[in-house]
Amino acid sequence: MKLAVNSKILIHLISLLLTCSLFGQQPDSLRKITLPHDTTRSYPLVNLDYQFPRVLKVSLVLSGGGARGFAHIGVLKAFEEKHIPFDLIVGSSIGSIIGGFYAAGYSPDQLVEIVKTTDWQELYSDKNYRTNLFWSQKSNPRRHILELRFDKGIPYIPSALTPGQKIFHAIYSRLLKANFQASNNFDNLRVAFRAVTTDLLSGKRVVLKDGNLAEAITASVTFPLLFAPVERDGMWLVDGGIRDNLPVDVARENGSDITIAVDVTSPLRTADNMRVPWQLADQVTTIMMQEPTRESRKMADVLIEPNVGKHKASDFSEVDQLVQAGYEAALRKIDSIRTLIQLKQKKLWGENRYLGKVEEIEILGLEHTELDTLSREMVTQSGYSLYLYDLYQDLQRFYRTGLLSDAYVILWGTPSAYRVEFHLRENPIIEHLEFKTFGVLPDSLLRRYLDLPLHRVLNFHLLFEKLDELRNVYVQKGYSFAHVTAIRFQPAQDTLQIEIDEGRIDSIHIQGYRVTRDYIILREFPPKPGQVFTAKAASEGIRNIYSTGLFDRVSMYVSRKDSQNTLIIKVKEKKYLLMRLGGNASLERKGTAFLEVAEDNLLGRNIKASLWGTIGENERTAEFKFYSVRLFKTLLTYRLRLYYKERWDNFYRDLERTGRYLTIRRGVWFVIGQQIERLGSITGELRWDNINIFSSEPSFSYRGAYRIRSLILRSVVDKRDKLPFPERGIYNRWYWETGNQRLLGSSEAFTRFYISLEGYYSLFSALTYRIQGEGGSADLTLPFSEFFTLGGLFNFPGLHEKERFGRQMIHLGNELRYKFRWHSLLGPIRFAFANLTGKQQVFYFSVGYRF
């Protein structure tokens, strides 16, 4: 018993010595204790001060794994429900998409909605949406099977199947609507974020923490061969999973105290799943990252492995099941995570030293805050032992009220009888609240959301919470880059002034263009210097620039420096000299092939020039075409064509083929007109045609030579969503043409009018209904070469091509079309059978694009 008492005395003496050593002072001297602060966080405070207490830094590392990564959403959902905090998200590949979107403010439920409504297969194609094109572009649809571009005369082989513009724009357009904007620094997000990528040039892992968030996420998911690398700062960035699919050490390097890793890495493919080059590349990548992933799993403090079975990385179905797997896996780890947080929190503050006994407690510095508000539930109590953690916990509670700008403890006396003084510095009282903005939103609306109580001590927590809500209001209204630049206190008036930069654009710079004139890019970009940035205008601008067809990739971000907002447009130009090859075949027209050589961006002004030639059993063509999509900054367009055409057609009488005739056309056609945004056009046209018609059949009575010199007024409205098989939209057009002998020297004086109305309606996902009506009328002087015709698969099934002709025509049609899931490398394949009221049966078959 005596030994035990002596042991207790010895332990107490050692504790007193350690306490004295801790403060480096004598037992009767003054001692100051402050809570460790987080120096990495800050707000733009002016004449205000606020200390952020140091808290445990918990990091979440999300692996790659393709569609298997949807399980990450379930993990995030479980953490939200169980209030597991984390301060950093590190994502690789699909982990960067889920993690980046969550860090930007999207909830787990919103993430589920996004992944369900995204057409993941569509992201592999970078074809422009047809509705984004001007009429001058729509009138030149795809006709080729093979396109080859040249770089300084040498054939240029693309580095990937697709440039990756669609996946970038899908990410960018959604991030613009997120509640938190990175503003070139990923620490500005709701949760700090890091995207892991691989540099193809150096072979090194690259961790992105700033710049364009959408570009960083795109780089992290850019799989080689499928998507072109993202070029940034001289690097070619691709999928982070190539070097590090589970980047636990990145979290450690960023100061993580606890690292939670979620691993959904894909297993190796079977032989049946390696049939194309990018699947082989994926297998090689998976093999390479197996060992690094094993090491990363060992480094994690907590490892979560959702049971997603053998779900394929490329299978984007069963989203709910994948999310549920992640949710259940996270729930199983909640208790161990909480225990680990408690243990690590103690280590964060250092050793919980015994300080002595508390004789008296005093709270100083409060003038306007009731003492009971702060002293309630204090750990430090008079007459009890005092430990370092007691003081830390009390200081932390004081800070959590949001009413203080600083707090520390002074110990007076000796360890046997301490007087504990809590020195607190209150925030100022706010009598007035005012805003300094560009006036995008009225002050009345700002006050509604930032309804701070006046005539009271400023509550920082409430202020920051209200500012987050106010920022969300700006984002919801499309002002994505609005941000608080200063929270300023004016002591003379006791006024709190909130200064908000609503995202006004001070200047616009373009990067990456070499050939294209800058005005070609800027004319397609709605935001202008002096205007306030809006998500809708920015997204539309990127879409417009990409729709010019001049660039492989278009991106945009805002750089803030010295209170100036510079909007940076990054483009990657295509190779503009190109050659196209194509062909088609049908039972009626036989086989035809074409070759086109074109300059796609003449003089850098988006002027197109091409030489075109076709050869086939029934036709031959040579044509030079020169046109501009837009004339300078206007919506005017023009087109010049010089052509020579030979075409053989069958001649029918009473449904019987009686022979063939040859039509030769040589001419010039000039068009100039006004485009109606991206809907259609109104044009005036001059046609100068020399036509010869030959036939050796005695019954053919339309031989002759004509000089057609005519003026044409034409209008087109084209809202079809795609070709050759539209699913939605209308296609309405009319023209009026007159051939004039006196003024133009036409051999025939004639007038004709034509109108056509078409509508396409999607009934189900694969079923489309089409309705069409067309009619035309001309005077009796209209020559045979200008007759209206009917017949053929595309015009009147049941008749052969051009089987019926005349000076007046009316035609009504209905069509119900089913879309198959398969795609042809040779272009559309059509097969049809038609029965003309028992008089004639016609089979149709064609393969290839029409030209």
CATH number at residue 219: 3.40.1090.10
Domain containing 558: what range? 507-573
**Are 219 and 299 contained in the same domain?**
yes
**Are 438 and 462 contained in the same domain?**
yes
Domain boundary among 368, 393, 426: 426
Burial 302-316 (b: 16+ CB within 10 A, else e): bbbbbebeebebbeb
**Are 252 and 383 contained in the same domain?**
no
Which residue type does 635 have?
A: L
Closest CA to 720 of 670, 772, 795: 772
Instruction: Measure CA 666 to chain center.
Output: 48
Instruction: Tell me the three state secondary structure of residue 273.
Output: helix
Higher pLDDT, 735 or 406: 735
Write the pLDDT tens digit of every residue in 434-474.
999 988 999 899 998 888 899 999 999 899 999 989 988 99
Span of 176-190, 201-215, 366-380 with lowest mean pLDDT: 366-380
Is residue 22 assigned to a domain?
yes
Is residue 48 assigned to a domain?
no
Give the pLDDT of residue 695.
93
**Are 219 and 273 contained in the same domain?**
yes
Instruction: Measure CA 433 to chain center.
Output: 38
**Are 673 and 783 contained in the same domain?**
yes
Is residue 597 assigned to a domain?
no
Instruction: Examine the pLDDT at 15 and tell me if it is beyond 50.
Output: no
Is residue 243 assigned to a domain?
yes
Pairing assessment for the beta strands 432-436 and 495-501 based on DSSP bridges: parallel
Is residue 621 assigned to a domain?
no
Give the pLDDT of residue 367.
83
Give the pLDDT of residue 592.
96
Give the pLDDT of residue 12.
38
Is residue 131 assigned to a domain?
no
Mean pLDDT (the chain) is 89
**Are 781 and 654 contained in the same domain?**
yes
**Are 449 and 415 contained in the same domain?**
no
Spatial distance between the Cα atoms of 294 and 133, rounded to a whole number of angstroms: 49
| pLDDT > 90 in the chain, percent | 63
Confidence category of residue 764, pLDDT binned at 50, 70, 90: confident
Domain boundary among 480, 501, 522: 501
Domain boundary among 319, 344, 369: 344
Instruction: Examine the pLDDT at 260 and tell me if it is beyond 90.
Output: yes
Give the pLDDT of residue 28.
47
**Are 798 and 705 contained in the same domain?**
yes
**Are 378 and 442 contained in the same domain?**
no
Token duo for residue 625:
């075409």
Is residue 399 assigned to a domain?
yes
CATH code for the domain of 480: 3.10.20.310
Number of separate domains in the chain: 5
**Are 312 and 367 contained in the same domain?**
no
Tell me which H or E stretch contains 503: none
Is residue 279 assigned to a domain?
yes
* HEC per residue, 59-120: EEEECCCHHHHHHHHHHHHHHHHCCCCCCEEEEECHHHHHHHHHHCCCCHHHHHHHHHHCCC
**Are 702 and 837 contained in the same domain?**
yes
Write the pLDDT tens digit of every residue in 310-357.
888 888 989 999 999 999 999 999 999 999 998 888 777 777 889 999
**Are 354 and 404 contained in the same domain?**
yes
CA atoms 211, 217, 220, 223: torsion sign: negative
Give the pLDDT of residue 75.
97
Instruction: Measure CA 453 to chain center.
Output: 40
Higher pLDDT, 694 or 35: 694
Instruction: Examine the pLDDT at 60 and tell me if it is beyond 80.
Output: yes
Write the pLDDT tens digit of every residue in 543-582.
999 999 999 999 998 888 888 899 999 999 999 999 999 9
